[in-house]
Structure 1
Amino acid sequence: MRRADRLFQIIQILRRSHRPVTADAMAQELETSKRTIYRDIADLLGQRVPLRGEAGIGYVLDGAFDMPPLMLTPDEIEAAVLGAQWVAGRGDPVLASAARDLIAKIATAVPEKLRPFILEPAIGTSPGRGAAADGVDITKVRAWIHAGRKIAITYRDERGETTRRVIWPVIVGYFDTMRMLAAWCELRQDFRSFRTERMVAAEFLDERHGSRPGELRKRWKRHIQETRGVTLP
């Protein structure tokens, strides 16, 4: 790998991590030596890239750092196309349309020599089998998640019994045959998952639940880890 490419990759590694990254971890990913990584870090610092940290502990990139987007590599293109293919086949109508538009935009933006990775991909997903019709506007649910607002739903369980609940939406999960909304339920005072096709009615409230969306998501992840033993990314 050329030195310039390696410097860009170090920045990318630090960008995607929320924790300090050690030189050893970067060296393993980039298939080089720790000594090379230390030299590269010194070069980046000399170029005024705002890195913080030290040897043995790890490095972080200042969140205020801004750099123009880098040209996508073939592997990055295929990763983006594979993800967009999956969403196009399984997402709600708005996201499915956005996924198809994304593929078209990537095809337009990349150099001619990289377009076969999009137009003639070597990867693919199985066709979606079609999720059951949602009983709630998923596009609006996603907006309420970002806004930190509550939703009042009427929910029908597997026995056909209905309850009215006020929930704090956390995340929408997309599966082959259904969609799930994870949320804090005020009725149960705990996190619950709701199948969207079982939502009989939904009222999108202006009231905020008072937790930052990111913090509520962290609490939900801890709940999943403690109750199911699963660590989410």
Structure 2
Amino acid sequence: MRRADRLFLIIHALRGRRTALPARGLAETLGVSLRTIYRDVADLQRSGVPIEGEAGVGYMLRKGADIPPLMFTADELEALVVGTRFVRAFGGERLGRAASAALLKINAVLPPELRERGRRTRIFAPELDDRIEASGVIDRLHAAIEARAVLRLEYRDKDDATTTREVEPLCLSFWGGTWTLGAWCRLRRDFRSFRPDRIAAFEATGEMFEDDAKRGLDAYLRKVGADPGAID
């Protein structure tokens, strides 16, 4: 379980309780050690979450505290609104729908002043029908990455020469106008970055590839000069 999810579940477990919840009960529910619960609760308290109690006694929210399921500052909310607009414009249809649905859920638990702050932001990402994101290509490539499906590409280079490649797709990157598909190319036996707008056609071969340390995502990121540990 991700730490962010665990912190959210701790707050959720404490909401509405009239008696203290023992740390041991939290640890058993979340499948972590008591030390982890103590550390997580201390971090939440330092972040301003009004949790009262102590180790060996239990924890509860301070009487009268109203903790919504999600807590954002005005700047954090504006970042989410702008991020949603960019995902809708550039992330493909599936993620675009999901981003819109997520923002609706977030707005449902926000006080009116924060909802209004989000509406007032002046950073936009217009959705246009003539971009590659509207063609379904990004969605199909994304699905192949998630499924670890080997793809057969008909790929045009900068001189318009076409080659057939079998690739193991690893990631999609957006460079502010251009997408690239990071992949292991079986023809070149090396990593390559393919531009989706130069893929004339592609299909799944029916073969699935295994995660491999030598030609997987982390190795690709190191090859292109990125730190795998810094990628969120």
TM-score, normalised to structure 1, is: 0.61
- 1:190 Cα deviation (Å)? 1.0
Q: Which amino acid aligns with 1:161?
A: A
**Partners of 2:209 and 2:113 in 1: CA distance:** 49
C-alpha displacement of 1:103: 2.8
Distance 1:131 1:219, change over 3 A: farther
Which of 1 and 2 has greater Rg? 2
Q: Which residue of 2 aligns with 1:124?
A: 123
Please list the CA deviations of residues 156-180 of structure 1 after superposition, one character each: whole Å capped at 9, or x if unmatched.
0000101000011111112332221
The 3-state SS of whatever aligns with 2:117 is helix
Distance 1:48 1:169 in 2: 40
CA displacement at 1:181 relative to structure 2: 0.8
The letter of the residue matching 2:123 is G
Question: How far apart are 1:229 and its partner, in Å?
Answer: 8.1
Match of 2:95 in 1: 95
- CA separation of 1:83/1:94 partners in 2, compared to 1, >3 Å: closer, same or farther? same
Q: What runs of 5+ residues in structure 1 fail to find an aligned partner?
A: 1-10, 16-43, 61-68
Q: Determine the structure 1 residue equivalent to 2:174.
A: 174
SS at match of 2:210: coil
| Paired residue secondary structure (2:216) | helix
Report which stretch shifted further, 184-193 or 170-179.
170-179
Deviations 1:46-69 (A, max 9, x none): 675425889xxxx89xxxxxxxx9
How far, CA to CA, are the matches of 1:113 and 1:81 in structure 2?
Answer: 14
The list of structure 1 runs, each at least 4 consecutive aligned residues, that deviate by more than 4 angstroms after superposition, is 44-48, 51-54, 125-132, 228-232
Q: Is the Cα–Cα contact under 8 Å of residues 156 and 199 in structure 2 kept in the other structure?
A: yes
Aligned with 1:115: secondary structure?
Answer: helix
Q: 1:120 to 1:229 in 2, by over 3 A?
A: closer
Distance 2:191 2:199 in 1: 17
Using the alignment, how far apart are the partners of 1:136 and 1:201 within structure 2? 12
Gaps of 5+ in 2: 8-21, 41-67
How many residue pairs were aligned?
182
Q: 2:205 and 2:105 mapped to 1: Cα distance?
A: 35
Instruction: Please give the alpha-carbon distance, in whole angstroms, between the structure 1 residues aligned to 2:228 and 2:212.
Output: 23
2-structure distance, mates of 1:133, 1:115: 32
* Structure 1 position 192 matched with structure 2 position 166: no
Taking structure 1 as reference, are residues 212 and 145 closer, same or farther at Cα in structure 2, changes over 3 Å only?
Answer: farther
**Match of 2:132, as an amino acid?**
A
TM-aligned CA distance change 1:136 to 1:155, over 3 Å: farther
Alignment of 1:23-34 (within 5 A): none
Structure 2 counterpart of 1:190, one-letter code:
D
Q: Percent identity?
A: 26
CA RMSD across the alignment: 3.9
